[in-house]
């Protein structure tokens, strides 16, 4: 998980707006229609590795290395995130757009076998639970909508994240953090990670500890979409989010029919009550019982991380999940994603200092990504 040393102000994203025609004669500028917001740019890419080769690659030994890297990479990632945040605070970048915010939403979708059950039933009250607990019945709906993401970086090292099936055209899309699919190093489409695999309902094997079970199949990534603000600028405040499509393994129709899909509510602000946050952490704040194989969850309110700063609309939640939970969904009780685990805070010795867990703002950038996924399908 990406860890931050300080709560730096957000990178301001300059949204293109429709200009009032220069030839206006009888109408004044005040009478002109409101400017139409333009979507931010996105970067798209594909994973060309043969799907069976991807599945065969992930042996228990390689997964063990991925889980180890989830823990030990955090100091390096913290330094990178701090540098990126400092660069984003250059005065010339700190311009706030006045364009209207984009919005997009969709309801959650139940697995095909539960198609007759209402997906819009009233949600129960969600208690405040910042100390993560193991998800009960993790191989059953609705928990199986969340899964483990495995990938290799440019050096061939193994890593892990979390993600969730999300409602999108094509019924084969996963939502996660941008840093789980791309390093944000400016390479654009060439920078997406390789050997990316999504395993819903993932768990350590009960029969053979150290191995894993994939009771709902192994879904190989096909195409990626991430904000240009992530792939080019590594923007943690607004753009550490991404989506990718997957190929159905033999015996399955599509991801949504198999495990269901969370809906989404993007562009509606950073304050949300009763959020459920889940993922597969390999560690946590003052925790020793997280292993990267087990799905945990927190509950509670999400607030604007810096409500006094209009340039920083990150989501902040009290949750002690750590590395490995990156990309896991922050979702409403109705099953709509409003954020994805991105980073926490550490001190100068790279030690986490609190249980605050942050998501990038899921506003215009998230809308642009989900729209691009839908357009491609």
Residue written as token pair 């997280």? 290
pLDDT at 332: 97
Stronger pLDDT, 7 or 52, i.e. the higher one: 52
- My answer on whether omega of the bond before 184 falls inside 30° of 0, hence cis, is no
**Strand 194-200, strand 296-304: pairing:** unpaired
Pick from 13-17, 62-66, 255-259, 360-364: least confident:
13-17
Asked if 245 and 167 touch (Cβ cutoff 8 Å), the reply is no
pLDDT at 377: 87
DSSP β-ladder status, 173-176 and 194-200: unpaired
pLDDT at 229 over 60: yes
Query: For 16-20, 47-51, 177-181, 278-282, which range has the lowest pLDDT when averaged over its residues?
Result: 16-20
Q: Does the pLDDT value for residue 278 go beyond 90?
A: yes
DSSP assignment string, 77-134 = HHHHHHHHHHHTT-GGG-----SPPP-EEE--B--GGGTTS-SSPPPPP---EEEEEE
pLDDT at 33 > cutoff 70: no
| Residue 169 to residue 107: CA distance in whole angstroms | 13
CA-to-CA dists, residue 167 to 119, 133, 158, 319, 320, angstroms: 13, 26, 28, 25, 27
Of 125 and 374, the one with more pLDDT: 374
* Range from 36-45, 268-277, 298-307, 332-341 carrying the lowest mean pLDDT: 36-45
Residue 11 has pLDDT above 50, yes or no: no
Residue 291 C-beta-side C-alpha neighbours within 13 Å: 13
| pLDDT for the residue 70 | 86
pLDDT tens for each residue of 57-66: 999 999 999 9
Contact 324, 64 (CB under 8 A): no
- More confident of the two residues 273 and 204: 273
Report, as an integer, the average pLDDT of 193-205: 94
What pLDDT is recorded for position 344?
A: 86
- Inform me whether the pLDDT recorded for 128 exceeds 80: yes
* Residue 137 reports pLDDT greater than 80: yes
Q: Does 105 have pLDDT greater than 70? A: yes
Residues pairing with 276 in the sheet: 299, 331
Rounded CA-CA distance 198/280 in Å is: 12
pLDDT tens profile 159-169:
999 999 999 99
pTM to 2 decimals? 0.87
Residues 320 and 284: beta-carbon distance below 8 Å: yes
* Average pLDDT for 19-42: 52
Sequential DSSP letters for 200-260: ET-EE-SSSBTBEE-TT--EEEEEEEEEHHHHTT--TTT---EEEEEEPPTT---HHHHH-
The residues spanned by each domain of the chain are: 42-88+103-114+126-376
**Helix (H, G, I), strand (E, B), or coil: what is residue 373?**
helix
What local confidence, expressed as pLDDT, does residue 310 receive?
A: 74
Q: Which residue has the tokens 């099936």?
A: 165
Q: If we measure between CA atoms, which residue out of 128, 180, 54 comes closest to residue 317?
A: 128
Question: What 3-state class would DSSP assign to 358?
Answer: strand
pLDDT tens-digit series, residues 300-328: 999 998 877 777 889 999 999 998 999 99
CB atoms within 10 A of CB 370: 27
Contacts of residue 270, defined as CB under 8 A and 6 or more positions apart, other chains included, come to 302, 303, 304, 305, 313, 314, 315, 361
Lowest mean pLDDT across 74-78, 224-228, 315-319, 358-362? 74-78
3-state secondary structure (DSSP) of residue 184: coil
Residue from 40, 44, 24, 43 nearest 32 by CA: 24
Nearest-5° angle of CA 186, CA 188, CA 191? 90
- Tell which residue, 160, 96, 135, has the closest CA to residue 292: 160
* CATH dotted code for 42-88+103-114+126-376: 2.40.10.120
Residue 214 dihedral angles phi and psi, to the nearest 5°? -130, 75
């Amino acid at each position: 998980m990406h860890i931050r040393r300080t709560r730096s102000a957000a990178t301001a994203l300059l949204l293109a707006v429709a200009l009032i025609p220069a030839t206006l004669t009888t109408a004044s500028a005040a009478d002109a229609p409101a400017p139409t917001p333009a979507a931010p740019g996105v970067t798209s890419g594909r994973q060309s590795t043969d799907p069976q080769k991807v599945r065969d690659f992930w042996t228990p030994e390689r997964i063990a290395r991925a889980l180890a890297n989830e823990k030990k990479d955090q100091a390096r990632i913290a330094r990178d995130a701090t540098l990126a945040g400092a660069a984003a605070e250059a005065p010339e970048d700190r311009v706030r757009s006045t364009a209207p915010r984009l919005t997009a939403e969709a309801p959650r979708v139940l697995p095909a076998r539960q198609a007759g059950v209402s997906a819009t039933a009233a949600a129960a009250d969600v208690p405040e639970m910042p100390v993560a607990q193991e998800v009960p019945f993790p191989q059953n709906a609705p928990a199986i909508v969340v899964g483990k993401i495995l990938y290799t970086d440019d050096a061939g090292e193994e890593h892990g994240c979390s993600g969730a099936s999300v409602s999108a055209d094509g019924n084969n899309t996963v939502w996660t953090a941008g840093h789980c699919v791309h390093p944000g190093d400016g390479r654009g489409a060439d920078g997406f990670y390789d050997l990316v695999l999504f395993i819903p309902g993932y768990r350590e094997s009960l029969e053979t500890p150290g191995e894993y079970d994939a009771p709902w199949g192994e879904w190989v990534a096909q195409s990626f979409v991430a904000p240009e603000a992530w792939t080019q600028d590594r923007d943690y405040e607004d753009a550490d989010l991404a989506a990718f499509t997957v190929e159905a393994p033999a015996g399955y129709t599509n991801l949504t029919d198999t495990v269901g899909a969370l809906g989404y509510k993007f562009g509606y602000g950073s304050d949300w009550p009763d959020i459920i946050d889940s993922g597969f952490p390999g560690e946590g704040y003052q925790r020793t019982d997280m292993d990267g194989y087990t799905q945990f969850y927190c509950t509670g309110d999400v607030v604007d991380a810096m409500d006094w700063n209009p340039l920083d609309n990150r989501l902040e939640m009290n949750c002690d999940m750590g590395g490995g939970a990156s990309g896991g969904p922050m979702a409403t009780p109705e099953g709509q994603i409003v954020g994805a685990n991105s980073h926490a805070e550490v001190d100068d010795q790279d030690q986490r200092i609190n249980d605050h867990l942050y998501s990038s703002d899921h506003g215009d950038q998230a809308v642009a990504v989900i729209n691009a996924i839908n357009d491609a399908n």
